[in-house]
Amino acid sequence: MRRRLHPAAALFMGLCALVLALPILVVMAAALNGGRTMLFPPEDPTLARFAEFFAGDPVWRDALWNSGLIAVSSAVLATALAWPIAYLVWQGGSGLSKALAAAGAMPFALPPIVFGVGLGFLWAFTAGLGTLWAGILSHAALFLALPLVTISVGLQSIDRAHLDAAATMGATESVMLRTIVWPQTIPYTVSGLFFVMVLSFNEFIVMFFVSASAFTTVTLQIFNSLRNGFTPTMAVAAILFVSVSITAFALVARWGDLPRLMGAEPEHD
């Protein structure tokens, strides 16, 4: 039952998309500035800032490396933690497994600045403040809710009859986990991984409290220079970020049913 949208509705959606894209487009265009100041429309367009960002300035190179390392590691860690929790809850879990799921979802549901302050205290007591591994653990905890949700959606989409059928054919729980549950939840697991990766890459406030200025990431670096005025090099970072996000989510859409993952009804036809 596909209906055509009313032209006014299509116009409204287009307008929303435009406003949504506007600031990012402006930042991107500013990357082309020839001079040192951030002007829009750009003056004396050049691609020199791209070279500067990726090859030249060691500050940006280190920040980029840290951002990437934290994003990938915390994504893997969060997914690895979320898997057993989601599985235990799906299994008909004990009270403890449900409490685990609730605790894991809490940091994401509360104001991030509060969690950041708390993590700052925590790492100060455990001598982790300003270390990369503390940053990785912090982001894993902050974004644990995301793979928890996607993996739970995936587990729910498994037909219980498959498990019963496998059991009648002699499969033990671990065999079922390996041969039925795991293959069917791979797309959802990967989606969760990508969500954490992208959001960690872009996260600012928690990392600010955890890093204690001992290391920088790209978002921290940008914030540091916020007050000194923007430089076009920062805009290059923005382009990089947006490309990474779009690529990651396009891959999620390719591998999995994105509308279903976001909570739409399974497709009927």
Partner 1 sequence: MSDESLPAPRAGAPGPGARIGGGTLLQVGLAVLLAFLCLAPFALIVAISFGEKVQGAAWIWSVDPGNYARVFVGALWPEEFSGLYLQRLWYSVLYATLGAVLAVATAFPFTWFLTRTGRRAQTIWLVFLLSSVSVSEVFVVMGWDILLSNRSGLPMVARETGLTDWLKAVGWFDTLRGWGLANPRDLKFKTSATATVLTMTYLVWPYAVILLYPPLSRLDPALTEAARTMGARPATVIRTVVLPVLRLPLLGAVMFLFVYLLGVYVTVSVFAAPSQQTLAVSIYDAVRGATLDAPFGAAQSVVLLAVAALCLWFGQRLGGRGA
- At 81, which helix (H) or strand (E)? helix 58-90
Of residues 126-165, those binding partner 1 (CB under 8 A): 137-138, 140-141, 144, 146, 148-150, 152-153, 155-156, 160
110 counts as binding partner 1 under rule CB under 8 A: yes
Q: How many angstroms separate the CA atoms of 38 and 29, rounded?
A: 10
Nearest to 160 by CA among 143, 176, 175: 176
Q: How many angstroms separate the CA atoms of 236 and 148, rounded?
A: 33
Q: How many angstroms separate the CA atoms of 38 and 112, rounded?
A: 30
Of residues 214-253, those binding partner 1 (CB under 8 A): 219, 222-223, 226, 230, 234-235, 238, 241-242, 245-246, 249-250, 252-253
167 counts as binding partner 1 under rule CB under 8 A: no
SS3 171: coil
Number of residues that bind partner 1 (CB under 8 A): 105
Which of 109, 127, 161, 169 forms a contact with partner 1 (CB under 8 A)?
109
Nearest to 70 by CA among 255, 253, 239, 196: 196
Least Å distance between CB 1 and partner 1? 7
Least Å distance between CB 41 and partner 1? 8
Which of 92, 127, 161, 170 forms a contact with partner 1 (CB under 8 A)?
92
Which of these segments, 11-19, 48-56, 164-172, 176-184, binds partner 1 (CB under 8 A)? 11-19
Least Å distance between CB 216 and partner 1? 12
146: CB partners within 8 A, 6+ apart? 78, 82, 108, 192, 195, 196, 199
